[in-house]
Structure 1
């Protein structure tokens, strides 16, 4: 079942008038399945796949590279082989939208204090046992109630709600790649930027192509061990490292988030090794956010991350030479704010999502003149 295009546009306008940060998340319901119709004219052919004999295809979008028989789907559940042609089942069908502060992503060095029109479809190409958005990332299109919204309408909605950017977020935007790409193209026509909030589990060529239309990327870096990725995410570490290196090579702005999960990826040795890799491969100026874990999905047996553990990780990162290190999900902590690496004066003051740019002038420290990397207004 899908909400109509008219309902989507009406809802955007009414919500925008009612609140500075309008939001509407559609219900996730097994009671209203959308049948998979082979004649569905709304289907869009997927990009990045190879045709194989006997109507099989190989998806080349993400490192899984699923080989898919006719009438079957890939691991993500939202891309289907129909007669040897691969289709995306979620193009133009976002299941939720919100207007969020850009700091919620979090992106701290990207037009701070602005709003992001945030959208997602269902589906993901990994399965994190601690996923906070599992209600949409771990279901299939038939289990969702969606909007119908073209890329042009998403760009219009972002503009109409006063958003400086469109954020592709919540579940995994890699799996709605074509829709994200086209929304970004339409957004640029309205001077609306685009940011991808991703696990980074994507092949090199699709990522290179996507960088042409994106303005910033935030990578949720799960851990610096193969064991963690394999056992807790059903993925692998190296493809994500490769994505980070590619983003650096492409020159696009990106930031990293490291959710610190007690007993799983919080050892000082692992964090130190990760920080050394970042320094060597990405440089000292990539913002790194250590965020607090709360029990979610299949990992409700663990406690929230102790603040002292986050502070220890912060200290390790600073000791290893990283310039912009943050602590997240701890509102009011000093390490939410941005400080100049040269004079240590506060440049951007944050409490939760409340932001005051107080010491930044034209991308430089107002006190000592040091250039501060990022994308600034």
Structure 2
């Protein structure tokens, strides 16, 4: 293909048509010489040692720690994003450093040697799937060193991407923002985002080696109705022919104002607890967060 032609990115259902040199809507992928490349690959903006429970993962390796790495860019623009300074940034908007997979794995192995509670690497903070190749390459090396890979994601990617990384992910927490296309539209999502997220959850649930948890951030006026949570919990229960009722770990989390909704009041604690009780009509393992 000629480097002077536009090309289409196939990572998510937005299918950005990129002119030569152009960036995708996620700000992490570019048409370079007629090929869509993950320009943000290995560009780390945030690196921290986090408890497993912070991801949140409530029922996977409790008491463990993860080296958490984030880059920049996201294929959504949720008005309440807690990490908007990196998720809505491009390469010139935020400081970053090159951290190739080999070096990230080595840093994690060194941390694990000092403290055996360190169990692996979490790809988190921004949207990891916009540079899914970095997740894949790091996970392959991490596995060779006996280190786990954790994915914290909005789940909005094409199934070809999910199929490639699912066997490499040891645990995942996927955001299920709501159960209506209108809510995803309000989050600046690509067409068909809800269907894509549902397909991601289904695929990871069916992956034998992947422990799956799901989170909904309860935002007042957007997804805080009992009907909305009832619909999500009912669907999660149906996974695996009904195995989801016992197998899915679901987090109902309190919202605090951020970014474009910085002035919004937090979700009332009684609302969060009531919605968790709604989810418990269907799911055995429901956790409340930020309360």
TM-score by length of 2: 0.92
Equivalent in the alignment of 1:300: 262
Q: How far has the Cα of 1:52 moved from its partner? A: 8.7
Candidates 56, 59, 64, aligned match of 1:106: 56
How far is 1:53 from its partner?
9.6
Distance 1:53 1:95 in 2: 30
For 1:187 and 1:61, locate their aligned partners in 2 and report how far apart those are by CA, in whole Å: 23
Q: Distance in 2 between matches of 1:281 and 1:110?
A: 19
Matches within 5 A, 1:39-188: 55-162=5-112, 163-188=118-143
User: In structure 1, which of residues 250, 254, 258 is the aligned counterpart of residue 212 of structure 2?
Assistant: 254
Measured after TM superposition, the shift of residue 209 of structure 1 is 0.7
Deviates more, 1:240-249 or 1:197-206: 240-249
User: Structure 2: how far apart are the matches of 1:52 and 1:294?
Assistant: 48
Give the Cα–Cα distance (whole angstroms) in 2 for the partners of residues 94 and 211 of structure 1: 22
CA distance in 2, matches of 1:58, 1:166: 31
Alignment equivalent of 2:194, drawn from 231, 237, 247:
237
Map of 2:147 onto structure 1: 192
- The farther-off stretch of 87-96 and 51-60 is 51-60
Q: Residue 166 of structure 1 contacts residue 193 of structure 1 at CA under 8 Å; is this kept in 2?
A: yes
- Structure 2 unmatched runs, 5+: 113-117
1:323 aligns with 2:284: yes
Matching residue within 275, 278, 299 for 2:236 = 278
Once the two structures are superposed, what CA deviation does each residue of 1:4-38 show, in whole Å capped at 9, x if it has no partner? xxxxxxxxxxxxxxxxxxxxxxxxxxxxxxxxxxx
Task: Return the offset for 1:155.
Answer: 0.7
Shift of 1:300: 2.2
Question: Structure 1 200/52 Cα, relative in aligned 2: closer, same or farther at 3 Å?
Answer: farther
CA distance in structure 2 between the aligned counterparts of 1:302 and 1:178, rounded to whole angstroms: 36
* Residue in structure 1 matched with residue 115 of structure 2 by the alignment: none
Q: CA contact under 8 A between 1:100 and 1:117: conserved in structure 2?
A: yes
Alignment coverage as a number of residue pairs = 279
SS of match in other structure, 2:98:
coil
Q: Is the 8 A contact 1:208 1:250 kept in 2?
A: no
Q: Which has the higher contact order (CA 8 A, sep 6+)?
A: 2
| Equivalent position SS for 1:237 | helix
1:61 aligns to what SS in structure 2?
coil
What are the Cα deviations for residues 201-248 of structure 1, in whole angstroms up to 9, with x where unaligned? 011011011012111111011111111110134343111111111222
Is the radius of gyration larger for structure 1 or structure 2? 1
Q: Is the 8 A contact 2:8 2:36 kept in 1?
A: no
TM-score (norm 1): 0.71
**Secondary structure at 1:188's aligned position in 2?**
helix
Unaligned 5+ segments in structure 1 are: 1-50, 331-377
When structure 1 is superposed on structure 2, of 51-60 and 183-192 the one drifting more is 51-60
1:12 aligned partner: none
Distance 2:93 2:3 in 1: 32
- CA distance in 1 between counterparts of 2:239 and 2:131 reads 29
Query: What's the RMSD between the two structures over aligned residues?
Result: 1.5
1:268 pairs with one of 214, 226, 244:
226
